[in-house]
Amino acid sequence: MVISQPFGTILLPLVGGVLCLILGRKTRIPSILFLLIFGIGFGPEFANIIQPSAIESILNPTISLLIALVLFEGGASLKVDQFREISSVLRSLLTVGVLTTLITVALAAYFIGNLSLGKSFLFGSIMIVTGPTVIVPILRRVRVRSHLHNILKWEAILVDPLGVILSVVLFELLHLPQMKIWEGLQAFGFRILIGVLLGLIAGWIMKMGLTKKWLLRFESEELGGLFILGMNLFFYGLSEILLPHSGLVVATVAGIYLGNQSFSSKDQVFHFATQITLFALSILFILISSHIPVSSLHKYLEQGLLILAVMIFVSRPLTVFSSTRKEKGMPLSEKLFLSSLAPRGIVSASLATLFALSFSESGILSAEQFLPLSFIVISGTIIFYSLFSLLMTRLPGVQEPPQKGILLVGANPFAIFLAKEIQKEDIPVTFIDTNPHFCQKARKNNFEAYQGSAVNADFIESLDLKGIGKMVALTSNHELNVLSCQTISRFIGKENVFRLWDKMDAWDRVISHEFDSVWGRPLVVSLSDDFWQLWQLTSQGINPITAEKGFGNIFRNLKFDKNWRIHSLKLTEPIKMTPENLNQKGIDFPLYAKNEKDFTFIYPELSLAKGMEIVFISRK
């Protein structure tokens, strides 16, 4: 059966991209490796179904546009308050670190890869770019301290446009002999300046379009997501028209600006945009990898592996240690960990493909030499760092300490009340709720709140939940609480997810071996009628502890009054959480238990040691 072209070249990457993303999610292996194998396997040298030559006329601009989407989405995930903590290290990595990487990799390409000096520096500039599409999934898996996480994430995203512009300038110097080095440096600085200015304008216009009624005021996440993607590509194109190769800076800066603004449905809008970007990137990388001349890989395998070894064991450590030489407070273990994680990704591969095609067209260099070397090094960094980074997290002081943060699903009045009590223990609280009004209320009370569904695993994975150790589902919907626990348990462990007790729960069942804590450990209550009336009141939006005067009649009708207060009880002996012990102590609704070192929510049969303090709601 013969598949017509370009139909096969367009259809197969669409299907294969989705399958590779699913495989990556299920196996926890970076999906870029599956995309690489798929592209090679169905490319011209094997199945010959994907034929890049069939769409060659539109391939280069398509690659550039999709890189712009990657950098915009990556920029939107960067928070300015994170930058303040790591600014000095990051500045050094983006200046001293970039130059160190450029020089060391270029020298390796010159002496090992036998490239000319000019082409060696071009190869080095491509390898400056670390891969945010690879490094972010690795960081989610290894769970390191927040400042290390932020350094690597910011570096991966911000170095991309710098590396791309530097590569383009070097390519122009190589391709246009009449251009002088000083002119190249001017072009580099001017592109960054124009890109930053246009990026800020683009971000401001996007925010206006999302927030002002007299403009567009997109209410749904689909339209909002499409709007920011469309505006991002528009300003990218405008920048490329005004000054070629400045568009990626525009995309990055616009993403950073918009990502640090507040507007309705922000999380859902960016989640929708991220899904589209991820899908587009999977197609892109399959098309790129299908270009690889596999038959030539063996010719350059030894050279590629030697260059890879120099990058991993010489270039990256030298980059990190030279960039952090003034950071007296940074331990050696942290520097070693930063040295052990710098995978290259789709942007490096895209640049290698674009330059190889351009070299072939101009006769400067054969793509047969440039592409194999590039993809050997890129694939090698992904495989090595994915495996080795897990080992390096065992260094002292690298792993994330036991997490104190609490995630509350449902930002109803009772949940906000509970959050305020928890906050008194110096524990940060974050909310998730689908209701934009509730999220706004939480933010007004100085809590971080994400609008979206807690049962959507993709949405949860897209959030920055660093520091979250426990989750409690507090909605009035029992099924939603259980599903939220099941979803979030994948990220923080099933022993750390809790939910509100439901009337359908039976004590004997929840303490039996058949009960799976992935459904959420139910918070202990006294099971009295008073409690259920109390919860009915709070789920309707009334806080019985801080009720306004106008709610007095409701309280009297439900036999509640302002005698309901927060109490605490310090245990003089060990106790197990059972209905009998709760009633004996006069505890109607325990909120949590604490001491100087520990904090826990109270679930059935929990044993509390002497000295623990129980905080609970009861009558005077």
Tokens matching residue 291: 């270009």
Confidence of residue 298 (pLDDT cuts 50, 70, 90): confident
Residue whose token pair is 């927030």:
211
**How many whole angstroms separate alpha carbon 304 and alpha carbon 522?**
55
**How many whole angstroms separate alpha carbon 618 and alpha carbon 483?**
29
pLDDT at 554: 32
Q: In what order do the strands lie in the sheet with 429-433?
A: 448-451, 429-433, 405-409, 468-473, 497-499, 521-522
Residue whose token pair is 């891969």:
131
pLDDT at 107 over 90: yes
Mean pLDDT of the chain: 80
pTM above 0.75, yes or no: no
Tokens matching residue 477: 């919907």
Tell me the average pLDDT across 178-190.
74
pLDDT at 559: 38
pLDDT at 407 over 90: yes
Residue whose token pair is 């505006």:
231
Confidence of residue 500 (pLDDT cuts 50, 70, 90): confident
**How many whole angstroms separate alpha carbon 278 and alpha carbon 403?**
29
> Domains (ranges, CATH) in the chain?
7-392 (1.20.1530.20), 403-523 (3.40.50.720), 524-535+550-620 (3.30.70)
Closest Cα to residue 304, out of 506, 570, 108, 528?
108
pLDDT at 544 over 50: no
Q: What percent of the chain has pLDDT over 90?
A: 18
Closest Cα to residue 357, out of 52, 581, 102, 14?
52
Paired with 499 in beta bridges are: 473, 522
Tell me the average pLDDT across 207-227.
68
pLDDT at 311 over 60: yes
pLDDT at 324 over 50: yes
pLDDT at 397 over 70: yes
**How many whole angstroms separate alpha carbon 445 and alpha carbon 426?**
15
> Is pLDDT larger for residue 307 or for residue 137?
307
- Alpha helices (H) in 42-116, listed in sequence order: 56-76, 80-92, 98-111
> Is pLDDT larger for residue 347 or for residue 155?
155
pLDDT at 315 over 50: yes
Tell me the average pLDDT across 308-317.
95
pLDDT at 374: 86
Pairing of strands 613-619, 564-570: antiparallel
pLDDT at 619: 62
Tell me the average pLDDT across 90-100.
91
Closest Cα to residue 531, out of 590, 483, 576?
590
Q: Is residue 332 a contact partner of residue 123, using CB atoms and an 8 Å limit?
A: no
Amino acid letter, residue 458 = D
**How many whole angstroms separate alpha carbon 335 and alpha carbon 409?**
37
pLDDT at 203: 93
- pLDDT (tens digit, 9 = 90+) per residue, 234-273? 999 999 888 887 888 899 899 889 888 877 667 667 777 7
